[in-house]
Structure 1
């Protein structure tokens, strides 16, 4: 049985209420707004029962058939933008309401990434930039990790321990980036719900030394006591649930990010879900969201409860004294 999302089995659910067209959840970042716009225009086209080719031909009548379909397909997958004039023509074709036109115009504004990835943010690769943006936009973040503490949960000592022999200044940039991500996501005034299922191996694998690891485990305990953060541990073995396979085939590293639907509740899915997987240091976008939903269910079900996990974390911290 899948463990209920929440601080405990009877705790709060990660649903901050139904949003309406009059109060849409517009993403904070250009990446999130682009994805919301893509979902909105795809929904409006399908509602009018038009193909991508039919829609594109009306907006760009002098372009080739393949070109117009490609433009709509790329717009609906958030691979490209659209000018305000072309967006207005598309919405007129879709016979869109004034409310939806205002929403689409808002989502299509200020999508430039110019200058956003300078300073300490320059350390992120292209794949990471998309992830960092959606992390900030997410209403719900679920993370499964083995061998390593998730970046959003790392204390400064743990981050610095990765750069023992670094002399190029990247250590300070990384620490600043880590702190900014935590403050901008987990510790802000209206934070997302954050759930982590951590392999015991992530707690036992020493980064730096025992002092660093004790600080890191104590930091995890402190974060887990915040109302929006739930940390669960999947131990190497479970005497209380001997029939549960706690490790093999479950703890692949991945993140599930859930954004609010762009304001068309009742017609669009209530959420936009995205999966990111990590192999080594490479981060990739996955379309197989349901696969990772299933893995999340297995990992969180195999994990100790939040209360048990805090007790387990305190035991591990004592082992590092």
Structure 2
């Protein structure tokens, strides 16, 4: 059984799995990026081939089938399951024809995130001023896009339907991912639309937390609990980010593992960060600062009641 049994659906995830596999094979053989690239593209400069291998191993670029065959030979992998897996992953990384429907409204960078979101085993959010898109109810979305509708009436309905489509394919599919969100209290009190909208959104969060065992919500209140004061001061809670975890390629000779990716948000755009370790640290601090899940659910009810 090859790694495609891990459930990857999208070309983006398969490209990143291929990247991880090729990095593993190179490091296993003790070959430098420059030497590997030089063997495949002997007419290119040393700096150019090293950069190409580096981008290939980060998933930022793909590789042609012929070049992949040469690279696998450099790594001593010509036949067998590893070679078959690499070729299968390489052959199924085209995005052609995928960006129609709800995906078409998103930027290229955002589309990459959506692909990884769809394939993730674990999705983690730290949210400050706004409830994460996967956890929003319809009236909350409509309130957010109200200003957009005034300037561009045709944009808001597709954008709302796109979010619902994402929720359907991520949260409500068979074998959904684990979703863990740490919400600042400001997420819950910053009014979108009016009080009725906020009541509906808070009821939606409570319902998800109670009825969906794969969804875990924690709240960081404005007033710190005594044992959490230091943690709150160190959380970096004001920085919005998401961590997505995918399955790594798993075959005989490869240890089971996962691939983690960090994304930060500025306005309506998402940017992938290379410093995943930094955001893992911020995540640990945020979860330490937050109320436990059961207390967080009670806190959500307190905020709900405050809206009348």
Q: Same fold (TM over 0.5)?
A: yes
CA–CA distance in structure 2, aligned partners of residues 242 and 141 of structure 1: 24
Query: Judging changes above 3 Å, is the alpha-carbon distance between structure 1 residues 293 and 126 closer, same or farther for their aligned structure 2 residues?
Result: same
Shift of the alpha carbon at 1:127? 1.9
Q: Which residue matches 1:236? A: 222
> Deviation at 1:112?
1.8
Corresponding pairs, count? 302
Instruction: Tell me if structure 2 keeps the 8 A contact 1:238–1:244.
Output: no
Question: Residue 43 in 1 paired to residue 19 in 2?
Answer: no
Q: Which residue of 2 aligns with 1:110?
A: 92
Deviation of 1:120 after TM superposition, in Å, equals: 2.5
CA-to-aligned-CA distance 1:96-148 (integer Å, 9 cap, x gap):
25111111122112222222222322221122111111111111111101111
Question: 1:27-42 to 2 correspondence within 5 Å?
Answer: 27-42=8-23
* 1:6-155 matches, cutoff 5 A: 25=6, 27-96=8-77, 98-155=80-137
Gap change, CA 1:247 and 1:181, over 3 Å in 2: farther
Q: Name the counterpart of 1:302.
A: 289
TM-score, scaled to structure 1: 0.87
Alpha-carbon contact 1:36-1:261 (below 8 Å) kept: yes
Secondary structure of the residue that 1:213 maps to in structure 2?
helix
Once the two structures are TM-superposed, the CA of residue 181 in structure 1 deviates from its matched residue by: 0.8
Distance 1:137 1:287 in 2: 19
Shift of 1:192: 0.8
Question: Comparing 253-262 with 61-70, which one deviates more in the overlay?
Answer: 61-70
CA distance in 1, matches of 2:180, 2:261: 15
Aligned to 2:304: 317
2:291 aligned counterpart, secondary structure: coil
Could you give the per-residue CA deviations for residues 277-300 of structure 1, whole angstroms, max 9, x where no partner exists? 113323211111111111111111
How far has the Cα of 1:56 moved from its partner?
A: 2.2
Contact 1:24 1:263 in 2 (8 A): no
Kindly state the Cα deviation for residue 71 of structure 1 after the two structures are TM-superposed: 2.6
**Higher percent of residues as helix:** 2
- Are residues 1:289 and 2:271 paired? no
Q: Distance in 1 between matches of 2:233 and 2:31?
A: 47
- Of the three residues 121, 142, 157, the one matched with 2:139 is 157
Taking structure 1 as reference, are residues 292 and 68 closer, same or farther at Cα in structure 2, changes over 3 Å only? Answer: closer
Hey, what does 1:169 align to over in structure 2? 154
> Residue 164 of structure 1: CA displacement?
2.1
Q: Which residue of 2 aligns with 1:279?
A: 266
Match of 2:170 among 181, 185, 198: 185
Task: Please say if 1:194 is aligned against 2:176.
Answer: no
- TM-aligned CA deviation for residue 255 of structure 1: 0.6
Comparing both chains, which one has the higher relative contact order based on Cα–Cα distances under 8 Å and sequence gaps of 6 or more?
Answer: 1
The SS at the match of 1:246 is: helix
- Once residues 265 and 160 of structure 2 are traced to their aligned partners in structure 1, the CA distance between those partners, rounded to angstroms, is 21
Contact 1:236 1:246 in 2 (8 A): no
Q: State the shift of 1:64 in Å.
A: 3.8
Normalising by structure 2, we get a TM-score of 0.90
Which runs of no fewer than 5 residues in structure 1 stay unpaired?
Answer: 1-19
